[in-house]
Amino acid sequence: MPWWRARRDALLALAADRSPRYVYDLATVRQRARDLRAAVPADRVLYAVKANDHPDVLRAVVDEGLDLECVSVYEIEHVLEAVPGFPAERVLYTPNFAARAEVARALELGVHATVDNAALLDDWAALWAGREITVRVDPGVGKGHHDHVKTAGDASKFGVSPADLPALAEAARRHGARVVGLHAHTGSGYDDLGVWAENARLLGRLARAHFPEARHVNVGGGIPAPTGAAPPYDLEAAGAALGAARADHPDLAVWIEPGRFLVAEAGVLLARVTQVKRKGAVRYVGLDAGMNSLLRPALYGAHHDVVNLSRLGAPPAGPAEIVGPICESSDVLARARPFPETQEGDVVLIDTAGAYGFVMASRYNRRPPAEEVAL
């Protein structure tokens, strides 16, 4: 049973006070961190901060022993402020097409950086001299629930092709950089239980072929959180497959970097009904939250369960389009969902909204996005 059912009264009160609102249950964040550590034989677990950077969420995952993965210097500065005393060396920095000044600033802060462009070893040689780095490898095939979240293959802007690794290794030696790890991330929301194992085997072979100083392989993240009627991801089976794969190169530590799995279920988006409209055979339920607060459905057709929290348990009165107030035809949060009779002022809850929700919000149409509250 989702956590929010037991907290219904508190959530209705929060929505009555102000709407729309993201609400995060920190106990769920902590439990997912424990589930992950129990099921997956990883030497290091790094939380992908881009999924949800709320300070209370960051402190919860750090309290559970996780490290942090950041994709921009702005995320690095944010986490070092949000978690006072957190050592910068426990931050993995994985930029993509970031400017030279940003990368230089991140390195000054003391984080460990990932390089995903072989040309940078020569072009920015002064930045890498004497440093240990990780190289992001493109495994060649992207996986994920939508093309926009696949992060491998020639059509993806991420990573270095394996064919370019010998030249990169030579450039690293030439400029005094030490490649101590390889990284691969194929995409997000996939249901393939063997992705981590495949990445571990590939990276292990490449490390031994080209980088004798390599100490770790980072097999990425991307595991899904439960949505809709999809069966839950078998985390224990994925962990067992990874355990078998790492035996091929037992001297290499294994890192993983989950994001969505840790926080998606912990968050809900509360919104109030603004209008109900019938147009031909279609019923529209309009909310005070739209794609400016939750972009995922418009961006890549993401599914989120939606319920009328004010009338929880009421029978459906036919399908409804759940829409927001943004002046775009794509401002649809859910299509053709069974929904009860609904009135202006009802509180609607959008589930599994703790990942890639507020962090992707905007002020489009000059509408303020939902605020955040942590329980």
Q: How far is CA 31 from CA 26, 68, 110, 263, 359, in A?
A: 9, 17, 30, 10, 22
Q: Is 70 a catalytic residue?
A: no
Beta bridge partners of 70: 93
Where does residue 23 rank: exposed (0-12), middle (13-18), buried (19+ CB within 10 A)?
buried
Q: Which residues does 360 contact at the CB level (< 8 Å), separation at least 6?
A: 295, 296, 299
The dihedral built from the CA positions of residue 182, 186, 190 and 192, taken in this order, carries a sign that is: negative
Residues shown for the chain: 375
Q: Which residues does 314 contact at the CB level (< 8 Å), separation at least 6?
A: 308, 340, 341
Catalytic residue among 327, 343, 362, 368: 327
Q: How many CB atoms are closer than 10 A to CB 366?
A: 6
Q: Which of 86, 83, 91, 128 is nearest to 111 (CA)?
A: 91
The answer to whether the beta carbons of residues 98 and 83 sit under 8 Å apart is: no
Q: How far is CA 375 from CA 4, 29, 60, in A?
A: 11, 11, 12
Q: Give yes or no for a cis peptide into 232 (omega within 30° of 0).
A: no
- Return the structure tokens found at 191: 């249901």
Q: Tell me the C-alpha distance between 283 and 322, whole Å.
A: 9
Catalytic residues: 327
